[in-house]
Amino acid sequence: MKYLIPIAMTALVAACSSVAPEKEAPPVQLANPASQFCVQSGGTLRIEKTPAGEAGICVLPDGREIDEWELFRSSQASSTLPKVNVVRYRCEPQQNVTVTYFVDQERAQLERAGATVELKQQPSGSGFIYSNGPNTIRGKGDDLTLEIGRMAAIQCKAV
Q: pLDDT value at position 75?
A: 78
Name the pLDDT band for 78 (thresholds 50, 70, 90): low
Q: Give the span between the Cα atoms of 156 and 95, in whole angstroms.
A: 9
Q: Which residue has the higher pLDDT, 84 or 147?
A: 147
In the chain, where the domains are located: 33-77, 84-158
Amino acid, single-letter form, for residue 16: C
Q: pLDDT value at position 124?
A: 85
Name the pLDDT band for 112 (thresholds 50, 70, 90): very high
Is residue 116 within 8 Å of 134, Cβ to Cβ? no
Q: Give the span between the Cα atoms of 138 and 133, in whole angstroms.
A: 13
Q: Give the span between the Cα atoms of 71 and 43, in whole angstroms.
A: 11
The secondary element (H helix, E strand) that includes residue 13 is: helix 4-16
Name the pLDDT band for 111 (thresholds 50, 70, 90): very high
The CATH class of the 84-158 domain is: mainly beta
Our CA angle for 125, 102, 71, nearest 5°, is 120
140 closest CA partner among 129, 151, 131: 129
Q: pLDDT value at position 47?
A: 87
Whether the predicted pLDDT of 117 surpasses 60: yes
Name the pLDDT band for 83 (thresholds 50, 70, 90): confident
Whether the predicted pLDDT of 1 surpasses 60: no
Name the pLDDT band for 13 (thresholds 50, 70, 90): low
Is the link from the previous residue into 33 a cis peptide, with omega within 30 of 0?
Answer: no
